[in-house]
């Protein structure tokens, strides 16, 4: 066991201190200041670096050799004793001109006092790391938690140095396999939580704008559909904040099948009647947030949000990078200049102690809690939590407990290559908030300016939808999307089960792909099971019955509304279906194609373009026109992102 710990410590030392990457990056004075304490602490963990390692580096610089040199020493000692790990010394490439960054140099982390390096062992080869021996037995301490923390700081600074390319292929997504067709006779009830997040659409757009197809796991079809506003009939008052809109029409990608569209429109609060806002901006300022599409974009986004708030609203700012800090105590928006100046001063650097930052942000929100207002933490991050509590389950539990106190959480995700969508989704879903992905300044304007009321102010919480299909008219059905939002049948009436929230004026759309009785089946009947009704039998009037449960923002008791899906809602031709229903249908088809097209048959990008162009309708912000451009981009995009040079 001791030998194993010894080998782990030695390997870690070699990777962090002796690698060719380290020697290359040490040409930067800023990174040298950050990495030096790590090297010294590794030496302090019973690892001794022979002085000639530095000499080897100097010699390689003088010779101008670009290749990596690996020198291995012959192990000495007992035959059954493990050999010491060889050193790795790399000659750096030709030096590049150094451009001084005044901000980085001003705020660069201060190195701790240097620790003395132990002298090399007698007789040890000079080009390798030697390990102290005692009585011919190996003893080494395991690296400390502090050492791992410093290594993370060094790693973040190394990967996100000025001019360094973003990482590739380390994104983590929250998704599940596509829903399958279910037999209505065997399982007539479908239950799910609504989802008003739009993060998936924005991430798909960011990938296509890089001329690369998005990973199938990143595509949540319902988030593509719900990215767009729809002109559904609105409810009359805030006391009854929802109204369901249903339609039935032919499925354009599968002859003989039909689609049921369920649309929900939320009541739109007036600016003068909306509650006060107690907001805490929790901003990731770790090293991974340095690129322009991360912290700089977050700063612009939050500055725009500040301009949408009323003078009586309050804002606090917490940052986290290695340690969490309060950049701005709760401040009235009437002091807008002070708030904007604090945002402008934010800089990136350090590892990602996200859990510590979340605790402090919630503490400030609770300290300034407004019982008659909206209390919300807005987390801006690439989701790369690597220090402190990194378990999704632990963070989920903490956020859920805060939700019960009336403090909600929304997430603004940024970045690509190591974007942790799974963490962002977990936090937002359990914090009664939305998860948005900010890839451009225009998306920030959409989420935080044009849709600020729906993003910040809920008009209904724990909104669930349950559909009961009539086996006399529906043979099979499939919910398109919402794979991560499925609920059990008995969850629908259980007010203790959490579900999604709907903000002021938001629309939510769900599509079911159904096979009518007598239509082309996708699932064969069982030989010994009950047989489906004959196709010649009289057809009842109803396809399904829709039930919606929701709670008002300050209530813990749900309210039920319901509506039938009957032939009065049916359109014989797809071209006669409502304009919004047709556009939502092809957005759904686009998402299904990006996920592999398992259920869309021969329906392709050209079909999506044809229908979407005809169903574009009123498009005041250009969102639908942009969608057409994304479909065209998908036709020529690469399947894989090129590896960075």
What would the pLDDT profile of 311-331 be if each residue is shown by its tens digit?
999 999 999 886 778 999 999
528 in a domain, yes or no?
A: no
Domain end, chosen from 406, 438, 453, is at 453
The winner for highest mean pLDDT among 173-187, 382-396, 576-590 is: 576-590
pLDDT value at position 169? 66
pLDDT band at 396 (very low <50, low <70, confident <90, very high): confident
What CA–CA distance (Å, rounded) separates 3 from 202? 49
pLDDT above 70 for 336: yes
Residue 389 pLDDT greater than 90, yes or no: no
Is residue 563 a part of any domain in this protein? Answer: yes
**pLDDT beyond 70 at 124:** no
> Which pLDDT value is given to residue 60?
43
User: Counting every residue, how long is the chain?
Assistant: 645
The verdict on 281 and 244 lying in the same domain is no
Q: Domain end: 425, 453, 481, which one?
A: 453
Read off the CATH number of the domain in which 405 is found: 3.40.50.410
- Shared domain for 432 and 468, answered yes or no, is no
The pLDDT of residue 272 is 73
Say what the pLDDT of residue 554 is.
Answer: 87
E strands in 149-290: 182-183, 189-193, 242-250, 258-266, 277-284
Based on the domain organization, do 223 and 362 belong to the same domain? Answer: no
Regarding whether 131 and 41 lie in a shared domain, the answer is yes
Query: Is 172 within the bounds of a domain?
Result: no
Contact call for residues 285 and 319 (beta carbons, < 8 A): yes
Say whether pLDDT at 459 is over 60: yes
Q: Is 538 helix (H, G, I), strand (E, B) or coil?
A: coil
pLDDT tens column, 130-150:
333 444 444 444 444 444 444
Q: Check residue 97 and give its pLDDT.
A: 43
- Long-range Cβ contact pairs of 568-576 (< 8 A, separation 24 or more): 569/246, 569/247, 569/248, 570/247, 570/248, 570/249, 570/543, 571/247, 571/248, 571/249, 571/250, 572/250, 573/249, 573/250, 574/249, 574/250, 574/251, 574/252, 576/249
Which of 453, 469, 489 is where one domain is finished?
453
Q: Are strands 407-413 and 314-321 parallel, antiparallel or unpaired?
A: unpaired
Helix (H, G, I), strand (E, B) or coil at 407: strand
Report the relative pairing of strands 374-381 and 407-413 from DSSP bridges.
Answer: parallel
Q: Mean pLDDT of all residues in the chain?
A: 79
What was the pLDDT predicted at 56? 43
Higher pLDDT, 232 or 55: 232
pTM passes above 0.85: no
**pLDDT at 356 (0 to 100):** 75
> What percent of the chain lies above the pLDDT cut of 70?
69
More confident residue, 293 or 133: 293
State how far the Cα of 471 lies from the Cα of 450, in Å rounded to an integer: 43
Q: How confident is the model at residue 6 (pLDDT cuts 50, 70, 90)?
A: low
Q: What is the reported pLDDT for 393?
A: 80
- Residue 213 covered by a domain: yes
Contact assessment for residue 443 and residue 167, using Cβ atoms and an 8 Å cutoff: no
- The reply to whether 191 and 302 lie within a common domain is no
Residue 37 lies in a domain: yes
Residues 289 and 211 both lie in one domain: no
Note down the domain range covering 494: 182-269+458-521+540-636
Q: Given a cut of 70, is residue 403 above it in pLDDT?
A: yes
Q: Residue 21 — very low, low, confident or very high, per pLDDT cuts 50/70/90?
A: very low
Indicate whether 264 and 282 sit together in one domain.
no
- Residue 390: the pLDDT is 61
75 lies in some domain? yes
Could you identify the residue written with the tokens 């049921």?
260
Position 43 pLDDT exceeds 70: no
Q: Are 326 and 252 part of one and the same domain?
A: no
Residue 597: is it exposed, middle or buried by C-beta count within 10 angstroms (0-12/13-18/19+)? middle
Q: How confident is the model at residue 351 (pLDDT cuts 50, 70, 90)?
A: low
Give the three-class secondary structure for 355: helix
Is the Cβ–Cβ distance between 238 and 502 less than 8 Å? no
Q: Are 125 and 192 part of one and the same domain?
A: no
Residue with tokens 């986290």: 320
- Evaluate if residue 636 carries a pLDDT over 90: yes
Convert the pLDDT of each residue in 95-118 to its tens digit: 444 444 433 443 444 444 443 333
Q: What is the mean pLDDT of residues 11-35?
A: 48
492 & 384 share domain: no
Residue 304: is its pLDDT beyond 60?
Answer: yes
Per-residue confidence at 344, pLDDT binned at 50, 70, 90? very high
| 199 pLDDT above the threshold of 50 | yes
Same structural domain, 412 and 302: yes
Same domain as 491, residue 404: no
Average pLDDT over residues 25-46: 44
231 in any annotated domain: yes
Closest Cα to residue 454, out of 251, 320, 269, 181? Answer: 269
Choice among 73-82, 150-159, 524-533, 549-558 with the minimum mean pLDDT: 73-82
Mean pLDDT value across residues 31-54: 42
How confident is the model at residue 354, as a pLDDT? 59
Residues 6+ apart with CB under 8 A from 260: 246, 247, 248, 467, 511, 512, 514, 543, 544, 565
Q: Is the pLDDT of residue 49 over 80?
A: no
Higher pLDDT, 137 or 215: 215
Lowest mean pLDDT among 15-24, 127-136, 415-424, 465-474: 127-136
Counted domains in the chain: 3
Question: φ and ψ at 172, to 5 degrees?
Answer: -125, 130
pLDDT value of position 238:
79
Residue 499 lies in a domain: yes
Q: Pick from 169, 129, 147, 145: which is nearest to 11 by CA?
A: 129
């Amino acid at each position: 066991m001791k030998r194993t710990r010894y080998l782990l410590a030695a390997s870690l030392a070699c990777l962090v201190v002796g690698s060719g990457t380290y020697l290359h990056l040490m040409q930067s004075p800023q990174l040298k200041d950050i990495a030096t304490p790590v090297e010294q602490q590794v030496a302090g963990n019973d690892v001794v670096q022979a002085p000639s390692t530095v000499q080897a580096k100097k010699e390689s610089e003088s010779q101008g050799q670009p290749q990596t040199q690996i020198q291995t020493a012959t192990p000495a000692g007992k035959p059954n004793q493990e050999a010491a790990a060889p050193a790795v010394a790399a000659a750096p490439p030709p030096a590049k001109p150094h451009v001084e960054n005044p901000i980085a140099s001003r705020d660069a982390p201060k190195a701790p006092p240097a620790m003395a390096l132990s002298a090399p062992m007698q007789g040890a080869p000079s080009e390798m790391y030697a390990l102290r021996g005692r009585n011919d037995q190996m003893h080494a301490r395991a690296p400390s938690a502090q050492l791992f923390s410093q290594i993370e700081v060094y790693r973040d600074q190394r990967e996100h140095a000025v001019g360094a390319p973003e990482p590739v292929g380390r994104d983590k997504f929250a998704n599940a396999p596509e829903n399958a067709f279910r037999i209505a006779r065997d399982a007539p009830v479908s239950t799910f939580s609504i989802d008003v997040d739009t993060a998936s659409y924005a991430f798909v757009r960011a990938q296509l704008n890089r001329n690369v197809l998005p990973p199938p796991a990143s595509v949540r079809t319902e988030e593509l559909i719900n990215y767009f506003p729809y002109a559904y009939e609105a409810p009359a008052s805030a006391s009854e904040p929802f109204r369901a809109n249903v339609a039935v029409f032919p499925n354009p990608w599968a002859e003989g099948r039909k689609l049921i569209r369920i649309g929900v429109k939320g009541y739109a609060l007036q600016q003068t009647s909306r509650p006060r806002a107690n907001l805490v901006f929790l901003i990731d300022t770790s090293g991974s947030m340095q690129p322009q599409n991360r912290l700089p974009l977050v700063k612009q986004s939050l500055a725009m949000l500040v301009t949408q708030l009323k003078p009586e609203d309050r804002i606090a700012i917490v940052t986290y990078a290695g340690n969490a800090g309060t950049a701005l105590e709760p401040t009235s928006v009437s002091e807008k200049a002070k708030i904007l100046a604090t945002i402008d001063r934010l800089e990136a650097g350090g590892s990602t102690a996200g859990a510590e930052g979340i605790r402090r942000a919630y503490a400030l929100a609770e300290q300034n809690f407004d019982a008659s207002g909206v209390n919300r933490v807005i987390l801006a991050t690439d989701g790369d939590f690597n220090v402190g509590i990194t378990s999704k389950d632990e963070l989920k539990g903490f956020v859920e407990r805060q939700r019960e106190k009336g403090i909600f959480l929304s997430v603004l995700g940024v970045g690509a290559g190591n974007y942790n969508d799974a963490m962002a989704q977990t936090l937002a879903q359990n914090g009664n908030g939305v998860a948005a992905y900010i890839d451009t300044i225009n998306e920030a304007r959409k989420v935080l300016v044009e849709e600020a009321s729906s993003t910040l102010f809920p008009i209904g919480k724990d909104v669930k939808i349950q559909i009961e299909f009539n086996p006399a008219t529906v043979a099979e059905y499939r919910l398109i999307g919402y794979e991560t939002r499925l609920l059990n049948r008995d969850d629908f009436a259980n007010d203790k089960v959490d579900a999604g929230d709907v903000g002021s004026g938001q629309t939510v759309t769900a599509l079911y792909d159904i096979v009518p009785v007598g239509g082309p089946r996708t699932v064969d009947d069982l030989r010994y099971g009950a047989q489906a009704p004959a196709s010649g039998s009289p057809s009842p009037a109803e396809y399904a019955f829709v039930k919606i449960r929701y709670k008002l923002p300050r209530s813990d008791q749900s309210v039920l509304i319901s509506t039938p899906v009957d032939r009065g809602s049916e359109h014989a031709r797809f071209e006669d279906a409502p304009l919004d229903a047709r556009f939502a249908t092809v957005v759904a088809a686009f998402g299904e194609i990006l996920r592999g097209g398992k259920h869309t048959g021969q329906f392709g990008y050209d079909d999506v373009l044809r229908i979407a162009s005809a169903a574009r309708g009123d498009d005041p912000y250009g969102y639908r026109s942009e969608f057409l451009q994304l479909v065209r981009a998908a036709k020529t995009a690469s399947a894989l992102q090129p590896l960075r040079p």
